Structure 1
Amino acid sequence: MDIGDPAYELAETKTDRQSEDSEAALKKLRENWAEYDLTIYTDGSTLSSNENGGAGIIFTTSPPEDPRILRTVSIPAGRWCSSHRAELKAVAFALEDEARDKNLRTIRVVQDSKAVLTRIENCNPTIPLASSEEKTILESLQKCHRNNCKVTFSWCQSHCGVKGNELADDAAKVETKENQNNVGILDTTAKAAIWRFTRREFVTKPLLRAIYGERGEQLNRVEERRLSRKDQVTVSRLRSGHHPDLRYWQNLINSEESTQCRGCEMGQETAEHVLLECPAVGPFTRGTLVTKGSMAKDHVSIIRVWNRWRTKVIGAGKVASQ
């Protein structure tokens, strides 16, 4: 066997994704349980919306309907973590742990996620790996092979009466309730968490909904690309609230800066205030904006209101020109 070829190695270790019928899956687990020195049930879980991931691993022997529990392990998967990565983390820990035992000859890993099994099957060390878990899994499989230990991956539908799978799920949920701020996360996971948080702001802040519509992710990108480069930058800055001309943003950088609006001196100088509330804009311009509806679909309105406000304030000598 060529250790350098993970696809071949995984085929040799018999990646066995069973029938989608839960009874058939359970029956198959019962039929050949005696072939394995060790059966490991793994599962992953998150608290809510990909937050606080946990991985559960149950090491067993004996039939699946009445397994002998050798060890139960719960490990944190990260403050921001998808259930998929938590599942991979559970498999990685199980294989890395048992690859050290040179006395084992057959190991079965039971998973309830076909997506995880497919990802393991497609792992390739010759291309950049998406996660450290995949690298650990491949290295552990190769180590098991050198120790003459055959690893079989089996699929089991979740919540279908397999005790080991249920216990792994419970073990994974234990860590979802713990503080995981010190657990590292992937760059891709961090980006996804930031995007989810940004979209959540549209649900919790009425002013943002008024500016960008009920669902902030549905932005009119086609129309935005028709703007000049300068106007595109302005729209993006105002959408995020981080325009360098806004006192609110300047205050975040230097807390000694006032946040009072220089156009009306009646509110905080935020993007929402300037675009929706500040009297310096004038009723005609804002009335046109409101009748046109969502500013997420009408970037011209954003630019028009912003330029009118900024021109009036600059004309009064209250801000420096860009």
Structure 2
Amino acid sequence: MGTITGSFTPTTHTTGGKDKARDDIIHMLQNISDNRQPTTVVFTDGSALGNPGPTGSAAVIYEQWGSTEPFAVRKPVASKSNNYEGELEGLHLAIETLSRRPSTANHVLILCDCKAAIESVTGTQQVTAYNSLVHSIRNKLRSLHLQGHTIQFTWCPGHMGIPGNEIADKEAKLAAAEAANIQTNASWTRQQATKHIETQAHMRWDRRTKLNTKSEHMQKIAMNMKKKGKALGKRRTQININRLVSGHTKLNAYQNWKNPETSPNCPNCDAPETTNHFLYHCARYERERHQMLQEIESTYETYGTPAENRHTDIVTLAGMREDLTDVINTQMYRTFSQYIESTRRFDVLN
């Protein structure tokens, strides 16, 4: 795993291949959570549809890993460019976003799946390709360093099931699709065109991520969710289950991300109303929750599910487990539907 530590000094050794690098990344992130060290974690990516072709970039930012909700920013780069420029623009978008947003974490970990882009922005020599863009990134890195931030770059293998990287990849592809519709003016200089694209991206900076899940919840979804959700029962309940899985909920923690004037707390208790709070902790729904968990355990008993596989996370509740049979997944979905309907939490909100 190639890591640039200190302020942003490169270390080029990489051993063990992509599988080892993925395991190292997961271990590193787990250590950050276990040690409760305030750390901003950023995943970046770039994508070109055709290479050359419409190109986009994206960054997924966890302002404090393990304790704050993530948000994503993406940017269409050019109607015809390449993956490398997309990767550089992803780093630029991340660094510029961090520069504009106050952070309580002085340590920043940036994970990128392009070694060449990392080496370019952390080096000191003039580069041949995209020199202006690389120079801009380096200047912003120096500014962050002078503000007291320690920046660490780590190579993150792509398409290896690492949640933040997978989200950044999807967002970069969406940005590339948007770039296909960019109307360019032939009389513009490259700098003018880039400035125009950045201006459009900045107009969307306050748009919050579609995901309202904390790191642990997101990892469960990205690593375990293989099957499509069921389509049983009331349509409104189906919609609410899909929202709970994706994080697009009417719960107050997510609504606060969209509008800071909205209280993030549960209307029933003095705690942030996250998905986990609604499912597992809110005292108001203790009776309904107890009934749901009893029925889940009964289902596991009926079908002889091993103890180590008897989970109750959101993926299980939504009937999306790859390792469970369709019969069990269907029963889980129905039990979860009964819980949602019996709490009536979303009746008024929807």
For this structure pair, what is the TM-score category when the shorter chain's length is used for normalisation?
Answer: 0.3 to 0.5
TM-score (norm 2): 0.44
TM-score (norm 1): 0.48
Pick the structure with greater CA Rg: 1
